[in-house]
Chain A
Amino acid sequence: MSHTFQQKEFKATESGANAMPSSQPDFIKIRDFDFFYGDSQVLFDLNLDIPKQKVTAFIGPSGCGKSTLLRNINRMNDLIDGIRHNGDITIDDYSIFDPLLEVISLRKRIGMVFQKSNPFPKSIYENIVYSLRVAGRSKKSELDEVVERSLRGAALWEEVKDRLSESAFGLSGGQMQRLCIARAIANRPEILLMDEPCSALDPIATGKIEELIHRLKEEYTIVIVTHNMQQAARVSDRTAFFYLGKLIEYDETQKIFMNPGQKQTEDYVSGRFG
């Protein structure tokens, strides 16, 4: 959806990535949000506040709309024809649906990691610096520095530092997914969206990524969609349970898993349905 009129850069916040975690402001606010694919409504009247520098997990059975909601936060759903929404999502009190908003500047502030790792058919180095290159930054020293920082951030540096110019397709599945995480954080976004990042990985690779998430939340606001209840319990601070497009319960993770307020939530987290 291109905007024909004058486009605004998405405003960078003063209280950027280094704000004190204790403040925990509600960073992403979802208000009365309905979402439609053509005529069928998939999200119903969602209200949800996602705090800064915390890990928020979306859980729920397949088709409950958790991925759809996640993909609305960086407007990835724009790619699909015939979508429609009511309500609003704001980041830092700025509506992401503002018609004056340049969607590219929004996505520059939000990194995304997909369910299926999707490295580009390029070298490891070029994969990492892609977001900088498309932003027109091509100073060699800056790129080198970003590559090292991002790969270290994604705990991949030691494994690939000697073969940065080789194809990303030569990496193992777990390495590819960490490369995608490194790529997502290369441009220092504020928010990191993860859409079932471990669903295609073995337990060891999953463990590494979970460790990574723990470290990354010091710097980023992370929203993770997962099917794996244990994973949600392990990595997240808050958990939202969705069912059939509705938000059933949203609370501290501990509370959701130990003492859920809703019968449906209890059934789901204890594995009685799903």
Chain B
Amino acid sequence: MSNAKTKPFEKNIRPVGEVWVWVTGVGLAVGLFMICFLLAVIAWNGINFFWPKKIAEITLSEDGRSAFRGEHTLPGVIIQRRNLTPENLSPTDSDLIDLAESNRDYMREMMVFTGNRDLFATQNFAFLNMGDIESVAFPDDLIRIERNQWGDAIGRPIAIRTADGNEITADTTDFIKTLRMKVDEVRDRRAEIIRIERRQMGRINSFINREELEIRYLRGLRDPSAAQVVELDQRLQRVEELRAELEPLSHASAALRARQNETQFVFEVVGGVIREQPLGDIINFYFPNKMSLTQRFGWFCWKIWEFLSEHPREANTEGGIFPALFGTFVMTVLMSLAVTPFGVLAAVYLREYAKQGPLVSSVRISINNLAGVPSIVFGVFGLGFFIHEVGAVIDTLFYPRMVAINTPVFGTGGILWASLTLALMTVPVVIVATEEALAAVSRGVREGSLACGASKWQTIQRLVLPAASPGILTGLILAMARGAGEVAPLLLVGVMALAPSLPIDDIFPFVHLDRKFMHLGFHIYIVALHSPDTEATKPLVFASTLVLILLVIVLNLGAIMIRNHLRRKLQSSAF
């Protein structure tokens, strides 16, 4: 037995290094929290936009200060209640502070969406001092009407007045049924008008436009040849024919239009204010206070569908976002088609063929840096190179007549140039990802292939690229995620707030790469900042943002599914 004292182990007072687990964990948590919070705010506000909200009938006290246009009851949707702060009060309202001592409500304010912009001097909202509010009720008979103009109307229905002067008053039993029938009639007729005007007449008009551009060119000639004179005559003749074709259609649509406003819908807005609303402008109506939960949910789903499938109305402040959604989708797909071969070929050369050395390293560094160039710079490049150079060359080669009358075809912004600009912007992402994927293909496989008598290209084509394809798709996913939401460069190369036509339609040649297009990101910007009442369009902004995020997610999920499929194939079965 040894007497030497063994030294005890040191006590573990503070776990060494553990603090860094916490610090790194907190870093991650903060990041995740911010992302989740952002997504939650957008999702909540976006979804909220579609949910049918109850209409309150607010009664103000007779002696209160915030009478609404001389009336003391008004219907509206309560948006929020907020506290007033003494600093923000105007001098005339300073007595509120004293009033608030007995009733705290005097220092609170209610924001109410009143609709009826046509009556209320284009105001959508009322701000009511909550001290003045006597009662808030939700009567069943309040109606909310979606209109073609002036946004929504809110009120209490009184009667339907038909063209022959008959009135069906709101207290008759099948009033709502009749109103629904009439509105459906109007809606069907509107669909017919749109079909005639947008599809049939639009088609003929696009032909007329083409002819007229040619005519403008022919007329502008100093001394036209005999053939050109003949051509001019022929084209004038053709325009006449087209106009003649247009005639019955425009008559038909005018007749339909005339019938649209035959019936009037009479409703009470505030107190005694009566409004007659021509039925032609009514798109839909509902009684939100009467709806059951399932009806609400049905309405909610219908509104979402409407939002995704309809064209915008009233300078983008109402209606759907279909053209923007479609434009974004087409642009992203075109961009992917352009960026993938371009990026993959560049990466294959850099990784497989180029002799690694300082030159290739500097090229690689430059490519990485290219990913950090501000996107507007690419926009300027797209404008300067694609539009003013390439587009101008295409125009002089293929559309000399359009150049002569100063109507550029490809020499102006369009979806092709926008896609190519974004492809250029995202190509570094694809190159970097592809290079990494190529580098990850094992040396053993390459040597095995060469030992089998394969050439280098055969090895790349048959083994390396398939093995790298999941990694290449990862690069494409990153590129799409970046490209789909990018707005700044698009401003210079062909995006529009309100494009008259879609980039793909049923008029030959079906895909119109020269057309300007709408884009969700730009749509959000326009609606958020350039609409008459930005407060009123705020929910629309959130909804559009949500759709943009979902679109990016859907595109990415598609690419991820393809990638996983490839991976499975690579690991388990033959390809």
User: Chain A: residues with CB nearer than 8 A to chain B?
Assistant: 2, 74, 76, 79, 81, 104-105, 107-108, 110-112, 114, 116, 118-123, 125-126, 130-131, 133-135, 165-167, 169-170, 180, 183-184, 187
Contacts and interface: CB of A to CB of B under 8 A. Distances in A.
Contacts of A131: 452-454
Given A134-B458, A167-B571, A120 B448 contact: yes
A107 B444 contact: no
B224 to A, nearest CB: 57
Given A167-B572, A167-B573, A121 B445 contact: yes
User: Interface residue tally of chain B, by bracket?
Assistant: 20 to 34
A111 B453 CA distance: 9
A81 B449 CA distance: 19
Nearest to B458: A134
B88 to A, nearest CB: 68
Contact of A184 (B451, B454, B466, B575): B451
A123 B444 contact: no
A112 B449 CA distance: 10
B240 interface: no
B355 interface: yes
Of listed B444, B448, B455, B570, residue having the most chain A CB within 10 A: B448
A114 B355 contact: no
24 contacts: A74-B451, A79-B450, A81-B355, A81-B356, A104-B453, A104-B454, A105-B453, A107-B450, A120-B463, A121-B445, A121-B570, A123-B574, A126-B574, A130-B452, A131-B453, A133-B462, A134-B452, A134-B454, A134-B458, A134-B462, A167-B571, A169-B572, A170-B572, A184-B451
Nearest to B466: A121
B450 A183 contact: no
Interface in B87-134: none
A180 B466 CA distance: 20
Contacts of B356: 81
B362 interface: no
A121 B448 contact: no
A131 B575 CA distance: 16
Nearest to A2: B456
Contacts of A119: 448
B444 A116 contact: yes
Interface string B318-334: 00000000000000000
A108 to B, nearest CB: 4
Interface in B322-363: 355-356
Contact of B575 (A107, A118, A122, A125): A122
Contacts of A81: 355-356
B442 interface: yes
A256 B355 CA distance: 44
Contacts of A108: 453
Given A104-B455, A134-B454, A114 B447 contact: yes
Nearest to B573: A167
Contact of B453 (A76, A79, A125, A134): A134
A272 to B, nearest CB: 34
Contact of B574 (A76, A104, A116, A165): A165
Given A81-B356, A116-B444, A111 B451 contact: yes
B143 interface: no
Contacts of A184: 451-452
B449 A120 contact: yes
A118 B573 contact: no
B484 interface: no
A135 B455 CA distance: 9
B425 interface: no
Nearest to A164: B574
Of listed B445, B451, B463, B571, residue having the most chain A CB within 10 A: B451
A76 B445 contact: no
Contacts of B449: 120, 130, 134
A76 B451 contact: yes
A121 B574 CA distance: 8
A143 B3 CA distance: 82
A135 B453 CA distance: 8
Nearest to B467: A121
A112 B451 CA distance: 6
Contacts of B571: 121, 167, 169
A37 to B, nearest CB: 15
Of listed A107, A111, A119, residue having the most chain B CB within 10 A: A107
Nearest 7 pairs of A and B residues by beta carbon: A123-B574, A118-B444, A108-B453, A112-B451, A131-B452, A134-B454, A118-B448
Nearest to A126: B574
Contacts of B446: 79
A120 B355 CA distance: 26
A60 to B, nearest CB: 22
Of listed A79, A120, A121, A180, residue having the most chain B CB within 10 A: A121
Contacts of A187: 452-453
Interface in B450-489: 450-456, 458, 462-463, 466-467
Nearest to A109: B453
B441 to A, nearest CB: 9
B445 A118 contact: yes
Contacts of B450: 76, 79, 107
B355 to A, nearest CB: 7
Nearest to A133: B462
A111 B451 CA distance: 6
Given A114-B444, A118-B445, A183 B463 contact: no
B321 to A, nearest CB: 43
B455 A134 contact: yes
Interface in B120-157: none
Contacts of B570: 121
Nearest to A105: B453
Nearest to A102: B455
A241 to B, nearest CB: 26
A130 B449 CA distance: 8
A200 to B, nearest CB: 12
Given A2-B456, A116-B444, A187-B452, 7 more contacts: A76-B447, A79-B447, A112-B448, A118-B445, A122-B574, A134-B454, A184-B452
A109 to B, nearest CB: 8
Contacts of B453: 104-105, 107-108, 131, 134-135, 187
A119 B572 CA distance: 13
Of listed B456, B458, B466, residue having the most chain A CB within 10 A: B458
B452 A183 contact: yes
A180 B448 CA distance: 9
B451 A107 contact: yes
A165 B466 CA distance: 18
A153 to B, nearest CB: 16
Contacts of A166: 572-574
A118 B442 contact: yes
Contacts of A165: 573-574
A165 B572 CA distance: 10
Nearest to B456: A2
A74 B449 CA distance: 13
Interface string B423-445: 00000000000000000001011
B451 A130 contact: no
Interface string B536-575: 0000000000000000000000000000000000111111
A76 B452 CA distance: 11
